[in-house]
Every structure is written in C-alpha cells, then in structure tokens.
Structure 1
Amino acid sequence: MGLATSRRGFLRAASGLLVAVALPLKTRAQDAAAEAAVPAAPAVPPGAFIHVAPDDTVTVIVKHIEFGQGPLTGLATLVAEEMDADWSQMRGALAHADDALYANLAFGMQGTGGSTALGNSFLQMRGAGAAVRQMLVETAAEAWGVPPAEIAVARGRISHPSGRDSGFGAFAQAAAQRPVPAETPLKPPEHWVLIGTDLPKLDTAEKSDGRAQFTLDLYPEGVQVVVIERPRSFGATVKSWDDADARQVAGVRAIRQLPQGIAVYADSTFAALKARAALKVEWDLSAAETRTSQALMAEMTAAAREAGRTVEESGDLSGLDAPGVTLLQAEYSFPYLAHAPMETLDGVITLSDGRAEAWYGCQFPGLDRPAIARTLGLPVEAVTVHVMLAGGSFGRRAQGSAHFAIELAEVAKAGGNGSYKLMWTREDDIRGGYYRPMTVHRLRGAITPDGRIAAWENVIANQSIVAGTAMEMMMQDGLDPTAYEGSINLPWTFGGHRVAWRRVDGKVPVLWWRSVGSTHTTMATETFLDELLEAVGKDPVQGRLDLLRPDATRERAVIEAVRDLAGWQGSKQGDRGYGVAFAKSFGTYVAQIVEVESRDGQPHVTRAWCAVDCGIPVNPNIIRAQMEGGIGFGLGAILHSTITLGENGAVQEGNFDDYPTLRISEMPQVEVTIIRSDEAPTGVGEPGVPPIGPAVANAWRALTGQRTRALPMIQAGGVV
C-alpha cells in the first residue's frame, strides 16, 4: 500500500526481547515515592510495551496518542529509568487499537484525555522497565555463570566485576524466553537518574526533518480522496442535490450521499474540492438549529438566572440576603469555541475481503474501533486502527460520539472494497461543530461590614458534553461534572457557598476543549474573587493566601512561588497592570501572574509567570513547554476567539482570518517554576490553560478599571 511499516510488521520482523507488563491501577506503590514491589502482572501477549532490539535500542510502545503533549518521551523516561538504559538508545512508537492490552487505567478503555497519560501509566511503565531489566540480568548471569546479584546495569550496559560487559541486544533473544517476573522492585527516588531531568523529546528530530508520519502524509496506492459537503446549519439534512456540474470535473470517481452529507470521491484533493464547490445542494432545515448566537445566549442567560440543581453546598447562605451586607453580582458569558488544531481531521481507511484497516490520529481507540465495526457490519476483530501522530487536538479528537470514525467508515461502506482518504478542510473544521459549550455563569457574593466574604453562589448554565454519547457513563445522577468542574472544591474559606448547574439542551454539537469546564469556571470564579477582594481592600495575592483553607498546602505553595517569581509589588505599577489567578485542574496546581499594558486601548500581555505543582516532575522540559503552550493557547482564545451563529444558525467563521488565534507578536515572555514534589505525578497537557484568562482580566481591570464580563476581550467594537 505504500504506507510506513505498521507496528504489526515491525514486531513480526523484530528479533529481540518483546515483553508486556500490565499492573493494576491501585497498589501499595500508589504513593509513587514508596519502595514497593509490583504485584504479579495479568497474563497478556508478548510485545505490548517494550521491544529490545539486537542493536541495543529500546522501543517503548506507548498506548496514548502523541499530539505534542509528550507521552512518547514521558513514558519512555519511566522505562529507561527502571531499565538503567541510556537515553540515546530509547525510541517510542504508538500502539494500535487494543483495549485488552492498552486500556487507559483511568478510563477502562484505550484513550487519551484528562491529562491522564503519565499519571495512570507511571507505575505500569516503570514496572515494565524493571521487569525487562531483571530478565536481562538473569539471562546475562546465566550466560556468564555468575550470581545475578553481581551483575550491574548502567547507561544501557550490563557488566560484571570480572570485566565482562555487554549491551542489552546481545541477551534480548534469550531473555525473551524467560517468564515475566511476578514481582519486581522499583527504584527508590534517591536512585533516579533520568526522572526529574531535562531530557530532549524523542520525536523532535523526526518532526523537524520531515521523517515523522502524520495521516496527511499517507497516500496509499490507488487511494480515493474524499471530501463531504455538509450543511451550514446543525441538524439540517439533504433535501435534494444536483451533481451534474461536479461530475464534469476531471478526476472525480463518484459522488454519493452519506448520512453526513454529499461525498465526493476523486483522484486528488484538488479535484475533490473543485467538484464539491460545483455541487448544488438544497437543505431541509425543519429539524435544524436556526437560532443565532444572540438568541442562544439569551436562553442561556435566562437559565443561569434560575436556581439550578445544587452540585455543592456548605455553610450558611443566609448572608446573601442578610441586612447590612454588600452584595456583589456578576454574569459572565462564554461563546462557543472551536479547537482549531493545526492538522484538521483526516483519515485513511482500506476495506478488503471483510476486513477494515484505518490510519488516523485516533484519540479514543476504545470507542472508535467498535464504532467502525458497527458501521461496517464487521466483528471488532476484523477492524485494525493504527494510531498516527496528530498535529494537535485540544480535545477535538476525543469524541464520545466517535463521529469521525463513523464518518470514515461510512465513506468506505459506500465505496466498497478499496482505499479512501477522508479530508476535512480548515473551513470544515471551524464550521463543523463539536465546540466548547456556550456557557453563562451568574455569581453572587456577600461582604459583611467587617470585610468578610459571608457567602458565595455560582449558577452555571450550559449544554452537557457527555449526554447522549458513549461517555454518558460519566454523568452522576443526571449531572455532567465536566460542565461545572473547576467551580467546586475551591480552596477558599467562605461563610457559606453554593454551586448549581442548569442543563440547557441544544442542537449545536459540543465537545471537551482543552481543560474542559475549568476554562470557563476558572475565568468566572477567579475574576469574581478578585473583585470581592478589591471590595474589602485586600491585595489580590495576599487576599488569596489569607482565604486558603489550612490544609491547602499545595495551593499555598504555588501562589507563593509565583508571587516570588514575578516579584509581586501590587496590581498596578505605572502603565502596567498585574493580575493573578489560581486553578487546580486534573490534579495539577497552577498559579499565574501576568503583566498587561494598553496598546491602542486593547490589552497586550508582555510577561507571564507560572508556578506548577504536578507531583513528581518526570521531565521538567516537557512541563515547562506545556505550561508555555497552555498560556499561548488560552491567551489566544480569551483575546480573540469566538464562534458565531448567524442567519439560519450558520457558523460565520471559517478560517484563521475570521477565527483568529494568538500571533507570535502577542506571545508574552514566560517564566515557569516547577514545585519539587514526591506526590504521584499528574498531567500537564491542560492545566496551563485555565489561569491565564482570569489573570489577564484581573490585570486589565487593575490597569483600566474595565471589568471583563464576556469573551473574547478584543472584539470588533473594541474591548468588552
């Protein structure tokens, strides 16, 4: 087919050590710093996680997709540490779809999301590395006729005091015949050599020189390129269509109606797009969402003004209505947001003799593989999904509905045996839905005459992401925790507080967006908190420290660390405003301070400081990169990005000219400090995003007095 070698072919051709070790999620070593033996591993086929080749290279098979967040490097670090390998010999490869081997221990199925990749694999991959090391040591000891206890391993070399010395590869084949050890001690932290050091990412060189293979690079022999004409109004269906002009385009193979719209099959992307532009399609809008963003926002605002279902409540809320208190109120509105990763959705699928094989940046193989099988009427065992590198996701590829996998299968189902490459253009991507939900927060806070925050209430109205999808299992008693996460379990001490959710159903498809609910909840809660602190005459940083619960030690550490890193001297210094914000998301604690100046009456962020506590910092280089990337991603969204539904509910934006994100000239100078910790590691792919928005809004208010109540901050009419 002209594709890069598959993982299956790689394993078939290899002649080295192939080993699998799977560990249960909860063990005594859940405290990652503990010296604990790994329990016996469940029986799994060989070749799942580690391949040691005759040339001494060690390839780690990674069960999480790599789209820039670093699991190829992070999980390889864990294996290398326990094997005592040299970093130069480490390699990484993505696992194919197989729940039995590669289930995310946090999900129970194969998938990447929620910043779980490193945390849920921390013990599993260390255990695999330790087992391989022991198997190699025992093999070398047997070959040399010495006790295993006399064997040393360092920097990828196996040695004995007698002078014998070898790389891993020489013993790989023999070691592969040994049983996987039932118990393998893990290295204590004081013996770590690689964990906690700045290691270069394994995939940087290949991505830089073009060797890395993305789905866009795949063009199997005889492949047909497919694009689909979809409705501009969500929920619309095909009423009639005329393809006479489209069929005249050279290179067009076929034009077919699919459940998703009208699909053009052609010999090239150019021909497919030219033919699609020539289609004449009339859409039935009777079941479509035809309201404008303004109308939808009005509905959301009205919902937030109702009581909602309580999701968290404690203390005395009577302070909200008590005589003599000062009551502050605010409503925050958040628009739909597209993910807009650099690589849009695309996939290759081959259908032949009752089998299907697909290649694409698949974030949830555990959902996508069975979805492809159901659509094609095949058993799951007849479907192979190769997980490719992806050019970003930010949540776009994490689809509870498996809608792209289904669409890919529909293309093959309609076309029959053959190879097909389904392409989404940038316009398809921006207008295709699956946005961060439109959301409204209504906050009330009561301040007593002596300057205490007596009560706090937050009512959140938005659409559920998981309702009606395969991920509906995440709902708890009809509540979608991703809709309001980041608004509960706050570390602040209030006299009383209540958080409520109002579910507002709609026809605009929504999806997780990088850091999910915390993107809007942190913006609302941290800006409102800042206003309350201002009302009682408190410094934003010291006021937060004073409000912390006594047990909030990790929260205190990051706030104090970012205060010191930024050299905090107050919220306004000359022509610069300074803002602070804190968020805990996905188990990771992040505090940020920004410096903002006014340029032509609009906010420009010149500097940003960030403190992060993500438990054991496996690779500080990746942690800093993810914090920097999260700051840039979040900053672009809060300054510029919005999805607008116009006449008949049609999305107005289509590309980066009208859906702008952050430009290089707008990226601030960023400094990151990492809190050293012996807590179990947590994720960093998302937690850098939530604090940046409120930090900027707080700085802008300190500088100009303007409150941010709606996003984006910079709109056609100026600052909101």
Structure 2
Amino acid sequence: MSQGLLDAQNGKPRDDGQPAHAALSRRTFLKFSASVAAVAGGGLMLGFSFPARSQGDVRKTVIGGDGVETPQNGVFAPNAFVQIDTAGKVTLIIPKVEMGQGVYTSIPMLIAEELEVPLDSVTVDHAPPDEKRFTDPLLGGQLTGGSTSIRYAWEPMRRAGATTRVLLINAAAQQWQVEPASCHAENGQVIHAGTKRSIAYGQLVEAAAKLPVPENVPLKDPKDFKLIGTQAKRLDSPEKVDGSAIFGLDVRLPDMVYAAIVNCPVFGGTLASVDDTAAKKIPGVRQIVKFDNGVAVIGDHTWAAKRGAAALKITWNEGAGATVSTKTIFDDLAKASQGNGAVARKEGDVNNAFSQAKTRIDAVYQQPFLAHATMEPINCTVHVKPDSCEIWVGTQVPTRARDAGAKVTGLPADKIIVHNFLLGGGFGRRLEFDMVTQATKVAKQLNAPVKVVWTREEDIQHDMFRPAYYDRISAGLDANGKPVAWQHRIVGSSILARFAPPAVKNGVDPDAVEVAADLPYDLPNQLIDYVRQEPRDIPTAFWRGVGPTRGTWVVESFIDELAVQAKVDPVKYRRDLLGKSPRALNVLNVATQAAGWGNAVPKGQGRGVSVMHAFGSFFSMVADVAVDQGEVRVTRVVCAVDCGMVVNPNTVEAQISGGIIFAITAALYGEITIDRGRVQQTNFTDYRILRIHETPPIDVHIVKSSEAPGGIGEPGTAAAIPAVANAIYAATGKRLRQLPVGNQLMSA
C-alpha cells in the first residue's frame, strides 16, 4: 500500500494538489496491438502499438503481419521519438522494451507532458534497432536493463516533446502572422491568446515539417507539470488482464511446427548419439533435429513434441563438466579469495588503521547461483529461408538477437527480421540471446517456421545463472565501536567480461563491486578489491541487478554485526555513519518511523533494517519476520525510497513491491545447486517461489525530491534481502552468512 509522496525534508505526507490523471482508464484504453515489419530497404523494425481506440482483433493484427505504419507523406517526424500525421494521430517511439516495468506508460508521460497531448490519445511504437539513434549511454547500447530507462529518458524524451511543440507553435504563428510568444499549446492544438483562435496539430504538420528544428528548447519547470508525477494507469494493463496482450508464446504462423528441446544436462557437454526409434512412432512427431549440445523433436503441436522428447534415448559426451559440483565451485572461490584482487577503491591507510583498532571483526559471506524463473518460459520462433530469416521473440536486446540470427544463418544482418513482443518477465534473462541461437540452429534444418519452447525444467536447469559469490569482509572498530578500517574482497564471476568486455578496466568488474565500492557510510580507511573466479563451464548472467543485490546483503548484514559488537541499536549505528549522505539518512528516518522502529515485538519475531544507495536511488527497508521451528515468514515490509523526480508513483510502487517479493524468494529459498555438472533443481517444486498467501503487506513511502530520477526496477530487490536477514538475526540471535537464509536456519 503506497503512502504517497513524502516531503524530502521532514518525511511527512505530501499533498501536491494534483489528482490522478482522470482521462486514462481501463475502459477508455481498449485494445493493444503489436506489429512488426521490415524497414524499407532492408534491416529490421520492431513495433508495438497501444492505440487509444480499438483497432480490431489484436491477434489477427499480429499474426497476419500487416506491419508497422511506417512514415508516409504527411507525417511529421521532427526527431526519433515523435510522429504526427495530418489526422492528428500522435505516435511516440519508445526506445525501451516493456517487460512489466511500465516504460510503455512512463516514457510516453515524459513526451506527452512537453508535447501537450493527453496520454490516452497517443499510440506507442517500439523503436527499431538503431544503435545510433536509440543507444542508452548509461548502458552503451540499445538495451533495456540496469534500471536506466527513466534515468536515460528523463531529458531526451521531454526535449523531443518540447521541440515538437515549439515547431508546431511556430508553424501556427507563421500561419496567423503573429509572434510565437503569443501562442501556446494545449490538448493537441495551438491556441493564440489574443484572439482565442486554435488549430489542431494535424493541420500544422505539413507547415511545421518545413521549418528548421530549434536547438536547446527550454523544458517545463517541474511546478508546471500536469502529467509527470500523477498516478497514471498502466497503458498495457487492460490487455494483460483480458488476455489479448501478445507475448512470444502467443505467436501462431501458417504451417508452423513445434519443437521440444532436450539440452545436454552437463554444462559444456555435447551430443554423442541418439536413438529416436520410439520418438518417431508417436503420433504428431514429424522430425528429429540434432545440434551440437542437444536434440529437438519437431511435432504438429507441443504435446507431440514433448512426448517425443521424453521417448528419446540419448548418449552425451559429458566432458570435464561432469566433475563440477557446488562444493568444488565454492572451494575454488575460497581458494581464490586468498590472493590479492584488483583494487576497486582505496582510501586512507587500511593496514595502519587495523593495527590501531580496538577490535577487529572478520566474516565470510557466501551466495549461491540463482535462476531467473521468469513467468514466461524461454521461447523463440524462427523461419529460415534461402535468402532471409524471421525471428519472433521477446528480447531486451533486439540488435543482439538480430546478430545471433545472422551468425547462425550466415545471412547479412539486413536479411534478418526480428519481431519483438511484450516480455513475460526479463530480470536480465532476456538480455541473453541463447534462445535465438538455438532456435535458429533448429530452424535451419526445417522448411517451415518452428516455435521452440523450453519446458520449465529446461528453463531452470539451463538458465544463465546469477553468479555464486564469496566475500571476505573485515572491519576495525575504535573504543566507541565506530569503524576506522574497512576491507572487503569480492570473489566471483565477471558477467561484464563476457557481456561488455570494455567495461572491465584494470581487472575490476564495476558491476560485481557496485554498492560495495561506493557506500553511503563515512568510512575513513577502505580497501575494496575484486578477484575474478569463473565457475568452470556454468554460464552466468545478470539477475535483476547483480552488484547491488549481492553487495548490499553483505554490507548491510555486516553493518548489523558491527552494531551488535558495539552494543548500539542498528538504526542509531547507521545514523551515526550517514552524516555525509543526507538522502540516505532521510530515507532511513522515514522508513524506521513508519515501521515503528523501537517498539517491542513478540517473542519469536524480529525486525531488521537496511540502507542502500544504488542505481541513482536511495532506499531504506524495514522487514518484520516470524520464526517458528526454523521456518521463516516475512510479516511486513516498510520501504522508503528517494528516487529523485517521480514520473508515475504507481509504477514506482509496483516496481518496488515486485522487487521485494523477488527478494524474499531469494533470501529464504533461492538456490541452484550443482552435482556431477548437473543442476539439481527442476521446477517450482524444488526451486521454491514465494506464494501469494506468503506475501507480506508492503508499505511504500515515496520521498518527494527535486533531484534527477534514479532507477527503480532493481533496487527494491537489493535492499530487501539484508533487511530480512537482519530481522532473522533479531528474532533468533543467529547470524547466517550464507544465502538462502531460510535453508541455513533450518539446518542451524
């Protein structure tokens, strides 16, 4: 339950006099349609449309392949993000993909605010793959991830709307032969103040297209915002509720066949041989396709393909990966932690500070592999022809998906057409394109489009996992218990070394050390270093943030340890260290006051706290837990967030709540274990996910701020895990330094 906006100075509820955007409702925003088409002259174009009026049957639009409405004569396109036609239709081009985080609402709000058009009157199209026009400088490519969407879009999208508005005003002023300053835009039209004349945008596009594009157009003062900061309803919600929204799994094509995949159970292993005699006898099975590390059974429908896959008798070349286990991986990490790492941050004289400290505390924290387990399992549909290749997939990286298709087929990139869709959860999993590579390998051997769908078992056992990590952390305390020396060694896989090699400099993966190398606390002597240790053949990837989700748990748990050693309340201990970080201190005060910190809790229950600065936002969380015979139940979470200027409070609350649920799952249950090179977990029966009835009440307090927007998609997950862990300590007196803490508590 959201507590609304709070004043950044005193933490009191804010009433800014702006009602929720009333024009947008589930009833007025009727249908979603998605369409895709090749850009004229080759290459690819991806599009989603959320029209404000019904466009007919959604599925026919997608499956029939009618295509995106590409710019025609009479369409005014002054920049990469805005198009207006002579009928007044406003199309906004969104450079990020929608995977549940709300960007198909929040980014249009930014443009519509400055363009002066109602949010429910616009159509939203996804940007075509174009690194020159749509690169996110925070990520170095046309990617969706890293909680960067609003941080990236905040100024460019507003400027695109403002520039378009000024051009239309100038066109109207020229037509009326008046000064532009005497005109203003409102509700999709230009109005002359003196005569009250008005003219709709559609009637101005041809004239505006002939005018020079102005530079450095001033943006609105935040006090004049009409849309930004209001509780606009999600534009994609109605279709997700009524089932008309289109995801990759919904693709249906003429003559399409279906593939069930059996991947080698051992990472790094390959296919030796397969006996498909029994599989071919199953009604509906058409063909058996072999590739380097797996087998695909092609059927008339998914059930036939799945039954055929179960009937295969496969022999694998397991290779060296068959000797890998969870124990060997953590033995490798522990051994690597004995050596010096690449220095991520060094301040003061740590060795001297330790030598003069009154008390020294050392700890080792361990974190397991984690799967993404997105709601929509991995899937990809591909049709390979002699001179072209079409790919239907939900992806966070459309250009990388295209390039994967080109690499497998050998076709030029401009012959690869990628159709992108809404994503049924990303969390970093769809920053990878292994599903495109595999599906294209299968499709090359067929003469029809094929939909490849992984079972949940394949999805969990062949994921790209959040890395396992091993942290050595130490602190030296003075006579008052205040830290005077801080040393933190992080050991684990480098995702960026594979995903974006130039980002790794002097041996430091900036993602792996994020948060750990930039703490909000006043620590005079610090040494943070990083040791890269890859887990043999096990693939690793981003997981709703990596550095902050792993680093915050270690740091905030250890800060709690220091507070216990100093015999100081954990909140007071943090307050005393946050004098140089007023925003962090403020969210701590807001969260703890709202949670009733200091009030007694019943026996068997505990309350924990955390503070974090990551992704440009400041978070504090308080978690309440109850522990009964080793079983942990989170009973409440209170969060305060300062994420700068807020575009849509509804989106912020939803993202934080989802992140907290994701975090509770990870804190209590999340663990992928390896035995003989194989993932032992298979489905939600043994890779447990928090159920609806287990989800606690979540109170989100959004602090009003005039700072630039920060990220919101991943911080909730990062800040919640240590709050839960610290609450468990408060309830039990047991400091658990391994995740998942639920499992550790049961075995303690």
Report the TM-score, using the length of structure 2 for normalisation. Answer: 0.87
- CA–CA distance in 2 between the matches of 1:128 and 1:495? 44
Counterpart in 2 of 1:634?
663
Counterpart position of 2:92: 60
Where in structure 2 are the equivalents of 1:151-230 lying within 5 Å?
151-161=183-193, 162-172=195-205, 175-176=208-209, 178-230=211-263
> For the Cα contact (< 8 Å) 2:343–2:508, is it kept in 1?
no
Distance in 1 of aligned mates of 2:379 and 2:633: 35
Q: Could you tell me which residue of structure 1 aligns to residue 31 of structure 2?
A: none
Of residues 164, 167, 189, the one that matches 1:132 is 164
Tell me whether 1:11 sits opposite 2:69 in the alignment: yes
Pick the aligned partner of 2:304 from 262, 267, 271: 271
Q: C-alpha separation between the residues in 2 aligned to 1:704 and 1:182?
A: 62
Q: Is residue 116–residue 186 contact of structure 2 (8 Å, CA) maintained in 1? A: yes
5+ unaligned residues in a row in structure 1: which ranges? 22-47
2:82 alignment counterpart:
50
Q: 1:568 to 1:450 in 2, by over 3 A?
A: closer
| CA 549–13 in structure 1, closer or farther in 2 if over 3 Å, else same | closer
Letter matched to residue 714 of structure 1: G
- How big is the shift at 1:14? 6.6
Distance 1:717 1:606, change over 3 A: closer
Q: Which residue of 2 aligns with 1:31?
A: none
1:294 is aligned to 2:327: yes
Amino acid across the alignment from 1:435: F
Give the superposition deviation at 1:206. 1.5
Residue in 2 that maps onto 1:32:
none
After TM superposition, give the deviation of residue 18 of structure 1 in Å.
Answer: 4.2
Q: Quick one: which of 127, 133, 140 aligns to 1:101?
A: 133
2:719 is aligned, of 684, 691, 695, to: 691
Letter in 1 for 2:67: G
Change (3 A) 1:429 1:171: same
C-alpha contact 1:539 1:570 (8 A) present in aligned 2: no
Q: Distance in 1 between matches of 2:138 and 2:286?
A: 44
Q: List aligned pairs for 1:229-308, cutoff 5 A.
A: 229-308=262-341
Q: How has the CA–CA distance of structure 1 residues 105 and 568 changed in structure 2, closer, same or farther, with 3 Å as cutoff?
A: same
Q: 1:82 aligns with which of 111, 114, 120?
A: 114
Indicate the residue corresponding to 2:455 in structure 1. 425
Which deviates the most, 233-242 or 668-677?
Answer: 668-677
Note the C-alpha offset of 1:397: 0.7
Deviation for aligned residue 1:643 = 0.6
Among 721, 728, 731, the residue aligned to 1:703: 731
Say whether 1:519 aligns with 2:549: yes
Query: Is the 2:409–2:444 Cα contact (8 Å) retained in structure 1?
Result: yes
| 1:114 alignment counterpart | 146
Answer yes or no: is the 8 Å Cα contact 1:305–1:459 preserved in 2. no
Aligned AA (1:615): G
Could you tell which deviates more after superposition, 328-337 or 476-485?
476-485
Q: Work out the CA distance in 2 between the residues paired with 1:378 and 1:433.
A: 28
Name the structure 2 match of 1:483: 512
* Residues 1:535 and 2:593 aligned together: no
Question: Is the aligned partner of 1:367 residue 2:400?
Answer: yes
Secondary structure class of the residue paired with 1:254: strand
TM-score using structure 1 length? 0.90
SS at match of 1:714: helix
Change (3 A) 1:462 1:136: same
**Which residue number corresponds to residue 33 of structure 1?**
none
Cα 1:358–1:516 shift into 2, 3 Å: same
| 1:459 to 2:489 alignment | yes
Partner Cα distance (2:161, 2:357) in 1: 64
Deviation (angstroms), 1:511: 0.3
Q: Percent identity?
A: 36
Q: What is the aligned partner in structure 2 of residue 40 from structure 1?
A: none
In structure 2, the partner of 1:559 is 588
Alignment match, 1:403: 434
Alignment of 1:18-33 (within 5 A): 18-21=76-79
Q: CA deviation at 1:6?
A: 9.1
Gaps of 5+ in 2: 1-58
Moved more, 132-141 or 280-289: 132-141
Q: Structure 1 pair 573/195, CA: closer, same or farther in 2 (3 Å)?
A: same
Alignment of 1:274-673 (within 5 A): 274-318=307-351, 322=355, 325-399=358-432, 402-415=433-446, 417-467=447-497, 469-505=498-534, 506-550=536-580, 552-569=581-598, 576-646=605-675, 648-673=676-701
Q: Does the 8 A contact of 1:3 with 1:220 survive in 2?
A: no
Cα 1:165–1:495 shift into 2, 3 Å = closer
Aligned to 1:718, the other structure's residue is in SS state: helix
> Equivalents in 2 of 1:567, 1:279: separation in Å?
59
Q: Quick check: 650-659 or 552-561, which moved more?
A: 552-561
Letter of the structure 2 residue corresponding to residue 11 of structure 1: E
In 2, Cα distance between the equivalents of 1:607 and 1:717?
Answer: 20
Offset, 1:598: 2.1
Q: Retained in 1: the 8 A contact 2:520–2:613?
A: no
Assess, with a 3 A threshold, how the Cα gap between structure 1 residues 14 and 619 changes in structure 2: closer, same or farther: farther
Pairwise CA distance, 1:353 = 4.5
Q: SS state of the match for residue 100, structure 2? A: coil
Q: 1:157 to 1:600 in 2, by over 3 A?
A: farther
Measure how far apart 1:666 and its partner are. 1.8
Matches of 2:358 and 2:276 in 1, distance apart?
Answer: 68
Q: 1:492 to 1:12 in 2, by over 3 A?
A: closer
> Tell me, what secondary structure is at the counterpart of 2:245?
coil
Q: Distance in 1 between matches of 2:647 and 2:715?
A: 16
Instruction: Describe the shift of the 1:58–1:458 C-alpha distance in structure 2 as closer, same or farther (beyond 3 A).
Output: same
CA deviations over 1:432-481 (Å, ceiling 9, x no partner): 131000111122222233423232222221112133x3511221122222
Distance 1:179 1:226, change over 3 A: farther
> 2:575 and 2:669 mapped to 1: Cα distance?
31
